[in-house]
Amino acid sequence: MASLSTSPARTPVRTCIGCRERAAKRELLRVVLGTGDDGRPAAVPDPDGTAPGRGAHLHPTTACYDLAVRRRAFARALRAGVGLAGAPVGEYLAAGTTAENTAETP
């Protein structure tokens, strides 16, 4: 009878700005235009997906981050200047992949 219920609800799909693969939105890290440590415009991570404004989506891996940097994809996706820094995202990925495992300090 309800055979259609076996298919999942329509999952939002976004394209990764690094590898250009499509993936479920929840598997991607949202990136928005924000301010870096130096007070200049930068691409910043928005893991909650709550920041207003235009966002871009990226696999939360350093590989896709590197691709996005090389393509200048942050600037293009966020409609910012070509000099847009993505460092906050890189730092987030470098530190954040094991964020749940912060009990290593003695």
- Contact residues toward Zn ion (CB under 5 A) are 16, 18-19, 59, 64
Return the number of the residue (33 or 64) whose C-beta is nearest Zn ion: 64
Distance of closest approach, residue 23 Cβ to Zn ion, in angstroms: 7
Distance of closest approach, residue 59 Cβ to Zn ion, in angstroms: 3
Return the number of the residue (44 or 59) whose C-beta is nearest Zn ion: 59
Distance of closest approach, residue 46 Cβ to Zn ion, in angstroms: 17
Within the chain, what is the greatest distance between any pair of CA atoms? 60
Region at 79 (left for phi over 0; alpha for psi -120 to 50; beta for the rest) = left
Return the number of the residue (37 or 59) whose C-beta is nearest Zn ion: 59
How far from the centroid of its chain's Cα atoms is residue 76's Cα?
14
Distance of closest approach, residue 16 Cβ to Zn ion, in angstroms: 3
State the sign of the Cα–Cα–Cα–Cα dihedral 96, 97, 101, 105: negative
Residue type, 17: I
* Residue at shortest CB range from Zn ion: 16
**If we measure between CA atoms, which residue out of 11, 32, 15, 35 comes closest to residue 23?**
15
Return the number of the residue (33 or 67) whose C-beta is nearest Zn ion: 67
